[in-house]
Structure formats: structure tokens, C-alpha cells
Amino acid sequence: MSLYKANEDPANDYLSAGLHPDAEWKKIQQNTFTRWVNKHLKCANDYVDDLETDFEEGLKLIRLVEVLSGKSLGRFNKRVTFRSQKLENISLALNFLENEEHIKIVSIDSSAILDKNLKLILGLVWTLILHYSISKADWELPDYTQIEQVPDRTPKQKLMMWIKAKLPPGLPLNNFTSDWNDGVLLGALVDSCAPDLHIGWRDWIPANALHSTRTAMQLAEQHLDVAPLITPEELINPAVDEKSVMTYLAQFPQAHYKPAMGRVANVDTSPIVGTSTTFIVHTVNAVLEPDVLIRGPDRFPVNVEMHKVSSNVCEVKYKPQQKGEYEVAVTIRDPHSGKSSELNVERVVAIESARLVYEQTSNVGKRSTFRVENVEEGLIEMVIVDPKGNEVAPALIREGASYVSEFTPKFAGVHSINVFQKKRHIPGSPFPLTVATQAKFRVWGRGIAPEGVRVGDEVSFFVDADSEASGPLSVHIRDPMGRLLPADETVDSLKRRRTLLYRPQTAGKHEVELKYEDDQIAKSPYEVHIEQRTASRVRAFGPGLEGGVAKLPGIFYVETNGDTDGLGFSIEGPSKTEITCTDVGDGSAVVRYTPGEPGIYEVNVLSRSEHIKDSPFVLMVDPANDHLRPSAVRVLGIEPDAIFSKGDRAIFQIDTSDAGEGALPRVKLLDSQYAEVPVSLTKKTNDLYECSFQPISTGRHYINVSAGGVAVPGSPFMVKVREAVDASQVRVYGPGVGPDVRSQQPTHFIIDAKGAGPGEVEVALSDREGSAVDLDVLDNNDGSFTVRYTAPRPGAYQLKVVFAGVEIPKVEINVKPHVDISGIRVEGLKDAIVTVNCEKEVHVFTCDGDNTRITIRSPSGRVVEALIEPTATGFRVRFTPSEIGDYTIEVTYEDIPIDESPFTLHSVPPLNEKVTPNGVVAEAEYVVSASEPPQAQLVKVTGPGLGTVLAARSTHVLIDATRAGFGNIDLYVDGPAKTPINCIDNHDGTCSMFYEPLVPGVYYLRVMFDDCHVPGSPFKILAQPPVSERLRRNGGSRRSSGHKGKGWIGKGII
């Protein structure tokens, strides 16, 4: 029995279609039929990948028929190798369908399926769909019997009537193709089958067809077990065919609604990265609790915020941080029964936010372009609000994944650019657009001068802008061939000035074009005629060619370098200005002019009617400053005709304390080739600056000093730089500085300064008392000198050599006597102490008594008479000291003191005597009688022997123990040398201690009373060297260096 009319045979439909094999509807249909087959094969744990090929063995077709019919087809070839076996299997299935299931199959035989005839295979599948999914299906509907009683009703009409009966009244349904493209009908159908899901399909609009269809299909699958045999994208495709739609919709009459414990609504399936998004979870009652878990593309959980809006409504909020698919799992739990249900949630794919690319500044009347990039999906809207509050919605043009819009502002001020994606501000919106009035420029400098610029010059010009110009400046410099020259640009934001520098390499007409926002500025383009390099040797430089101040003199320097013919000057500017030139000799001149008004001036320096190098000089003169007094600036440390050394750092100061306001100093240093030398300028105090430089070449250098842009007195300063001087390379050698110099014998030494560079040599020789020795200096004319001298007496001498103002380390010369005195010695002065009025005997050993002299002097300076008796070995000397103090014994040989001469002898009072104030020795006796216990704190120590004393001189202290009770006094002297001590009991409770620190240094005197320190003990004593009378004389022979008739007394020149 057939269910179809002849003209509705499925196979005939495919044979007569005649469509292109790759027609879009065919792809959709093949996909849909494949999913339908796999839905049923799943029961047999099987599936197909391709309907065109997977039925050729007949095995999968047999399994499909068995699943659909619920019957077994009996025996068949399970292992197929040959074509005949395949044909048998396919025929078995087809015959079963016709004979057992009574399905009429027309124009389809086993060979068509084996030969992979896709049209016929799809026709067979469609036949199965009509029979098993529609005609034979048991549909539950109250008026189902009425549908069955209608005669000659086709499967299509049957399905159409069932759906119309389920849909709310008033919804048009005319076909199974275009009526289902917007998702609204599908939403209504799902809602009618599951009314408590509250789909809200009545608010759906065709513009959101994909989202609506996807939502309806997901709900149908979750709650009605309606498999997605067709994808949402295929269902809304205008090319979809009715068979694919019917295949999907035929599942609804057999669907059984499973009430959900809740539902999810308002899910944004395309949230924007970095922007929070929310959705709603509904539960069927207040007892149920929702759990939400969201995982990002990296599979890590995403932070979720849940807010309960009502007893059975919860708002879920999260913020995707990266692009990609997010897994949203919503589970409803019943805490009482323990049951749970996982709700279906649409597929969520986070997209990158759209971003606005635009210039944040513009000008009135200038068109601004806005580009909204990275628009993956979602409607883009733009609203611009000007400073007056007017709103403009510019048109947006789609360009791939971007939208482009243009806007021309009419008002100055900040505009608000609002960009919306999916009705929400994109990140950063609203964006500011600062609109300024039309900018103004002033262009000046040598770089745009019509003539004077030469090949190879490093030439610059300046562009001054007003406050309205904030955008970039377009600069194009073209040579005569039209090639662009590179230009270096620096910006002074404080002055709003751009400095542009370029280097022309060829002669001819160059063009300098300046544009701001595509418009020419000032007098652009400028024509600059580049000339060949000049042969003139004239050079001009100085502050007056770099800038100035109105009503103050501009000064610059001109070096002709011998090229004095046809030298001329002229100046052009806002005011008529006289220019004067003063010849300062040596081919140099100082030029002065005083600009009357501020502005741009052009100074022309011509030689033989042609511009010299760097001419014309274009400079800016600032407005007059009545408080500026550059003439009061003082430059310290630069002497006339100053000479500096190459490589050495030179330092000078600039004092602006009296120069008034704005006297900021500026220093520019040029070498002999007029190249600039780096200069360091450091502010030391408010008005004092330190300037330093390190010349790297020799010759004449020019120091240009200005204050507030005006030359200071004396500027430019001309100084000379010579080769570097290294005094450490000066060598002094020869017998005259050796170890065997003898008094009264001529000798000499050499000063070698060949490797020390240029400089003057000064030399002086003196003995230990400062007396100069006559020197005879001979120039060897090879950078060295021979110095001759004769030391008058033995002893220590010091040689001082100064080269180029730098003193080299002093040379010590020990002059020995011209005779041998090593055999003369003195004995009898070992203790060096004698009691006054007691005879002292001293022995002098010498082999030449006739030339040996012995002289004894008392502390008062008198020569003491002594008995001198010759002996076989020399002399025996006896004398009696009559004074207390130091006696000196001088022993000389041929007027030359022997070693350690003069000797010192200390005369002290006898033990039973004391010294009275008038120096007379008086005898006194005193018996100390004390019965009190010793009290060291009551002992007093006074006298000249405390504090600072002279070494090698006797001194004393007085110890007063009259109030200290009974006890012993112990005295100790600690110091750098053994110190003789002589104590005298004064028999009145005091005692005197005489001692002599033999060498200079620090000594400590310990005074102990009954083993306890007395107050102040130990006493610190500083022994200083004795002060001698010295005769200081200036003199000495000096000799001319003999350099070209210019002699230096005591000096030499290299």
C-alpha cells in the first residue's frame, strides 16, 4: 500500500530537480539527512560519515532499516568483498521495505546505491523520513482523529496542520522554508509545547534571527528531546529547502515535554572581553537553589557574582577576560530531595571589544576621520556631542571588520565621541576630541634664505607656532632632481618652536615645503638657491650673530685670515640699524650694531661681494629689557694672552651679580678651525657660574661669552692652546745630585725636559737654613740644561725645579765635607749632666790638633774658659760650670762641625742646694715632719716643665706635698727616648725635678704619692725642636737661557 500519490514520489522529486550538484540547499539537505540517519543508527551503535559512500556495502542500510522497522532482516553478508555481495545486502534492505513495510520505492535499485548516486540515496532517505517520522508516527493531539479522517491528506499537509494547531492564533504559516528563517515561528512552536519555559518569543525580531533560532533549538533539545537535525545557521539560510525543515519539525509531534526545575534567560552569547555581562536564572519555586560555574577558553573558572533579585530569580554577573568560547554550566538543586537538573545554556563566545582609532586633536573646519576596528559582531553606533551640546550621528560605513566615519567640527573646544556596541559604550567611550582654531606659524632662519647657503652647509630654520598648533608638521625638502633630503627636527615645547636642519649636497634650486594638516603654512614653498662652496677664508662669529636684545649692542668678531679685500657688512630687519667695524689688528675686526626693535634680523657679511661661510646670519632679537646690564658681567680666570695646554681642563668663572634680571650666561668656544668645542657651564651660586672646557687641538681659540643673548665686555676672548705639558717627564740626574757631593768642590747636574712638552724651567738650590747657592745654568738646545754649582759647606741642601709652572718633587742633596772628619770623636759627655761648680773633664780624639777647635758656651751665651791639654790622641778639656742650665761644646775641624757637634751638657744644682729667684745657690735644710695619713689629691705639681717644652733643653717642675701628709714621692718620665732626671729635696715639703727630653716628641710625666697618682698625673708634655737663629739670604748666580736673545734669570725655556 502506498502513502504517496504518483506525482509525490520522493525519487521522482530528486530526478527532476536538475539543480547544480553543489547547490547550497543540497548541502543543507545532505547534512540534515545525515544527522537524521545517525540519530537512528545511534541505537545500533553505528553511524555514517557520508551518505554517498557509507551505504554501498549495504550493512549500514540494513541496520538503519532494522532500527526504523523494529524487525530483523534475517541473514545477510556481514563480510563483503565482492560487488555481488554488496548488491545482495542492498537488495535485501530494499525488498524488505517494499514487501514487509509496504513502502513504494520507485526508480531506486541496488546498483544506484552501490554506484554512489547521491540523488537517489537522498531520495531513499527522504522516503524513509516521510514514512517513519511523519506518516507512521503516532502524534498526540486532541483533534488528531480529525486529521486522520481527512481523505487524501499528504504527509506535508499532515505536518502543516499539526503545527498550525499548536501555534497561537494569528501566526501565519504558509511553507516550510522562508517562514522559518527568522526564528519567531520556531520559538512559538517550542513555547506551545513547553509553555512554562517563558521563552519570550513575542519580543523577538527578524534582525536577531540567528540568536532567536539558536535559543529555540537549544530549549527544544533540552526540554523536548528534539534533536538539532539542522543547525540554526542552516535554518535561517534563505536557501534552505522544505524537506530539511520538515525533517527537523517532524520531531515535535512526538515530543514529550520534561518540565525543567528552572530556566536561563537574557544570556549574551557574544560578550565583550573586559566588559561585565549578566544573565538571569529562574527557578520554578523559591526552594530550589542555582549553582553557576563558568570556565574560560583556558578551562580555568571565571569569577562569578550572584545576586538574588526575588525568591525565584537570580542575576548572574561575570566579566570575560580573554577572547574565546566560555562554558556556562547552570545547575538547579533541590536541597530537600537532593535532586538536581542542569539547564541548557546557549553557546557563549567572548569577542574582543571594538576600539576607536582617531586623532585626538583637530581644528575647526578640518575633517576628522574615525575608524571603529575589531568589530566581530554587534551593531555599532556613534553619537558626537559638540561643546554646545548639539548631537550629531555621523554615518558609519562598513569596511570588513571595521566601520569608518567622518566629521567636520564647527566649534572649538572638547567634543565627546560616544561609540556603542550592542547598545553599550565600548571601553574608553566617550572619547575626547579637542578642536582648536586655525593655527598660525612664523618661519625664519638661514635654511629658507634665497641665497647664501652652500653645498655641504649644515643649515637650519625655525618654525614658531601659536598655541593652537598642536599637530605634526609636514616637512619636505627637495633638491633640483626632486629627491627628498632628510631633515633633523628638534622641538622646544616651551617656546613652541621647531628647529629643522638639513645638509644640501648639490648646487641648484631647492624647494622647502611646509604643511600643517595638508595646508601650506606661511610663505611655503620656499625657493633656496644652493651655491658651490666658497673660497673665502673670512670667518665671522660671536653672540651678535646668534641673537640679541633690542636697544643693546650686538657684537661679533671677524677673522679675515689674510683675505681683507672687499670686506663688507649690511643688516636688514624691523628697524634701520647702523653697523660699525673696528680693526683690532692682526687681520681681525670687531663689528657692532644696535637693533632698535625686536624681530628677525639678517646680517650679511660679504667678501668680494659674495657671502662668506654661514652668511647670511638670520637671528631673533628679543624685546628690550631695561633690567638687563650685560656690560656689568665679569669674566674671571681668562687673562690677556692666556695660554692653555691641549688636553688639560681649563676653568674660569662668570659673575652676573650686577647684570640684572635675565642675565643668563651662555658660552660658546671655537677652535682655530672655527669648530665648536664642548663647554660645561655649572651654576655655583645665584650669580656665579663656573665654566670649564678641555681643548683637543692647539692654536688660537675664541671664547664667546654672552649674558641674556648680548656679548659681555671683552667677548670674544682670544686664548692660545699649546701642546700638553707633562712635568712628570722632567728628569734630574748627574753627579751634582748624587751621594758623593763635597763642599767647596765644583759639580754639576742635568735637567732633561725633552719629553715634557713646551714650558719654562726654573731652578734654585738652598741649604737647610734657606741660604741660596749660586747656580750656572747652560741651555743645551735640545730640551735639556746643565746646571753647575759649588756647595760652600757640608750639610743638607734642597734642589727645587719648576717646569711650566709645575714644581717637580724636590731633590735632597747631602753635601759631605771636603775633608775626612770621621776619625774625630768626643768622650766624657755620656751622662750629659754635671753639678754646678764641679769640674767636668772631656776628651777629644783627633789626629790633627792644629786644625781642631773646641768652643764651650754657658747658658748665658758666654764663652767659657777651659783648660785644654794636648794628649797623644788629641786633647783633654777641663772646665767648671758656674751656671745652672745647658752648656754647648762645639768641636770643629777646619771650621767644619764634626758629627753630633755641638754637644750639650746640663748643669744642675747640687742635691743640698736650691735655686733662689735671683739665681744664687743657697743652702737650706728642712725636716719634713708629718703624722697625717698620705693624701695624694693634695699634692700640687707646677713649673715650666709642664705643657710644651724644648727638646734637648733642661727644664724642671716643683712638687709641693706640704699638705699631703706622710708618704713617698716617685717620679717617672715616659717618652720616645731615655730622659735624664735629677731630683732635689728642698727640705720644706717640696722637691724640684730637673729633666731633659733629648728628642722632640710626646712625653708623659707620672708623679706618684704613696703609689697614687697626684691630680693631673700623668702629665702630657710636648717637646718641640729648639728654635735656632737662622740667617736667611737671597742670592745665587743665574744665567740666561740663551733663547733668541730672550734670557730668563734662573730659568730656562724649552
Question: Same domain for 619 and 632?
Answer: no
Say how far apart CA 550 and CA 363 lie, in whole Å. 35
Mean pLDDT of the 879-893 span = 85
Q: pLDDT confidence of 479, banded at 50, 70, 90?
A: very high
pLDDT digits (tens, 9 = 90+) for 966-987: 888 888 888 888 888 888 877 7
Tell me the CATH number at 444: 2.60.40.10
The alpha carbon of residue 230 and the mean position of all alpha carbons in its chain are separated, in whole angstroms, by: 61
| Mean of the per-residue pLDDT values of the chain | 83
Of 243, 242, 271, 255, nearest in space to 216 by CA: 255
Question: Same domain for 831 and 784?
Answer: no
In single-letter form, the type of residue at position 965 comes to G
Collapsed DSSP state (helix, strand, coil) of residue 206: helix
Higher pLDDT, 722 or 119: 119
* Residue 922 is assigned to a structural domain of this protein: no
Q: pLDDT confidence of 154, banded at 50, 70, 90?
A: confident
* Residue 768 is assigned to a structural domain of this protein: yes
- Give pLDDT, residue 107: 82
Question: Same domain for 91 and 183?
Answer: no
Question: Of 310, 328, 350, at which residue does a domain stop?
Answer: 350
* Residue 834 is assigned to a structural domain of this protein: yes
CA-to-CA separations, 910 to 497, 836, 887, 961, in angstroms, rounded: 100, 7, 17, 21
Higher pLDDT, 241 or 861: 241
pLDDT digits (tens, 9 = 90+) for 802-843: 987 788 888 899 888 877 676 788 887 765 778 888 888 888
The alpha carbon of residue 221 and the mean position of all alpha carbons in its chain are separated, in whole angstroms, by: 61
Tell me the CATH number at 192: 1.10.418.10
Higher pLDDT, 159 or 769: 159
The yes-or-no verdict on residue 127 having pLDDT over 70 is yes
* Residue 13 is assigned to a structural domain of this protein: no
The yes-or-no verdict on residue 472 having pLDDT over 90 is no
Say how far apart CA 294 and CA 955 lie, in whole Å. 104
Higher pLDDT, 469 or 261: 261
Mean pLDDT of the 577-591 span = 87
Question: Same domain for 445 and 422?
Answer: no
- Give pLDDT, residue 1048: 29
Report whether 765 contacts 798 (CB < 8 A). yes
Collapsed DSSP state (helix, strand, coil) of residue 66: helix
Q: What does DSSP assign to residue 429?
A: P
pLDDT digits (tens, 9 = 90+) for 207-261: 889 989 999 998 898 888 899 999 999 999 999 999 999 999 999 998 888 777 8
- Give pLDDT, residue 932: 63
Report whether 128 contacts 108 (CB < 8 A). no
Of 496, 366, 518, nearest in space to 438 by CA: 366
**C-alpha cell read off for 537:** 677664508
In single-letter form, the type of residue at position 34 comes to T
* Residue 985 is assigned to a structural domain of this protein: yes
Say how far apart CA 4 and CA 16 lie, in whole Å. 17
Is the N-terminal amide bond of 758 cis, ω within 30° of 0?
no
Question: Of 513, 533, 553, at which residue does a domain stop?
Answer: 533
**C-alpha cell read off for 911:** 742635691
Report whether 891 contacts 874 (CB < 8 A). no
Question: Same domain for 221 and 247?
Answer: yes
Mean pLDDT of the 865-889 span = 84
What is the number of domains present in the chain?
10
The yes-or-no verdict on residue 735 having pLDDT over 50 is yes
Question: Same domain for 681 and 759?
Answer: no
Question: Same domain for 512 and 472?
Answer: yes
Question: Same domain for 278 and 330?
Answer: yes
**C-alpha cell read off for 718:** 682670544
pLDDT digits (tens, 9 = 90+) for 769-787: 888 999 999 988 888 899 9
Say how far apart CA 477 and CA 1040 lie, in whole Å. 66
Question: Same domain for 77 and 108?
Answer: yes
User: b/e per residue, 753-783, with b = 16+ CB within 10 A?
Assistant: beebbebbbbbbbbbeeebbbebebbbeeeb
* Residue 980 is assigned to a structural domain of this protein: yes
Q: What does DSSP assign to residue 192?
A: H
pLDDT digits (tens, 9 = 90+) for 64-96: 999 999 999 888 888 888 998 889 999 999 999
* H helix or E strand, kind and range, residue 889: strand 885-893
pLDDT digits (tens, 9 = 90+) for 663-714: 889 999 898 888 889 999 998 888 899 999 989 888 888 999 999 889 888 8
Q: pLDDT confidence of 144, banded at 50, 70, 90?
A: very low
The yes-or-no verdict on residue 490 having pLDDT over 80 is yes
The yes-or-no verdict on residue 526 having pLDDT over 90 is yes
Question: Of 135, 168, 201, at which residue does a domain stop?
Answer: 135
- Give pLDDT, residue 980: 83
Report whether 61 contacts 125 (CB < 8 A). no
- Give pLDDT, residue 328: 92
Q: How do 795-803 and 760-767 pair as beta strands?
A: antiparallel
The yes-or-no verdict on residue 1035 having pLDDT over 60 is no
Angle of helix 24-41 relative to helix 242-249, nearest 10 degrees, comes to 30
Question: Same domain for 227 and 284?
Answer: no
Say how far apart CA 184 and CA 173 lie, in whole Å. 11
Mean pLDDT of the 134-139 span = 76
Cα of first residue to Cα of last residue in the chain, in angstroms, is: 137
- Give pLDDT, residue 1053: 31
- Give pLDDT, residue 16: 41
Question: Same domain for 699 and 759?
Answer: no
Report whether 423 contacts 436 (CB < 8 A). no
* Residue 1029 is assigned to a structural domain of this protein: no
- Give pLDDT, residue 501: 95
Is the N-terminal amide bond of 430 cis, ω within 30° of 0?
yes
Report whether 382 contacts 420 (CB < 8 A). yes
Q: pLDDT confidence of 6, banded at 50, 70, 90?
A: very low
Higher pLDDT, 143 or 906: 906
* Residue 927 is assigned to a structural domain of this protein: no
Collapsed DSSP state (helix, strand, coil) of residue 540: strand
pLDDT digits (tens, 9 = 90+) for 299-336: 899 999 999 988 889 999 999 988 899 999 999 898 88
Q: pLDDT confidence of 1034, banded at 50, 70, 90?
A: very low
Say how far apart CA 611 and CA 530 lie, in whole Å. 12
CA-to-CA separations, 422 to 275, 426, 428, in angstroms, rounded: 12, 9, 15
Say how far apart CA 363 and CA 369 lie, in whole Å. 13
The upper half-sphere exposure of residue 423, i.e. CA atoms within 13 Å in the direction of its Cβ, equals 2
- Could you give the angle at the alpha carbon of 179 between the alpha carbons of 174 and 180, nearest 5°? 135
Higher pLDDT, 15 or 365: 365
Say how far apart CA 599 and CA 593 lie, in whole Å. 15
Range of the domain at 390: 355-436
CA-to-CA separations, 751 to 60, 236, 571, in angstroms, rounded: 119, 110, 58
Please report where in the chains the cell 717640696 appears, as a residue.
990
Mean pLDDT of the 619-629 span = 90
Which residues in 637-759 belong to E strands, given as ranges?
643-645, 650-655, 665-670, 676-677, 679-683, 688-693, 699-707, 710-711, 717-722, 731-733, 746-752
Percentage of the chain modeled with pLDDT above 70: 90
Question: Same domain for 280 and 339?
Answer: yes
The set of residues, in sequence order, having a beta carbon less than 8 Å from that of 1045 and lying 6+ positions away, is none
The yes-or-no verdict on residue 137 having pLDDT over 80 is no
Higher pLDDT, 9 or 812: 812
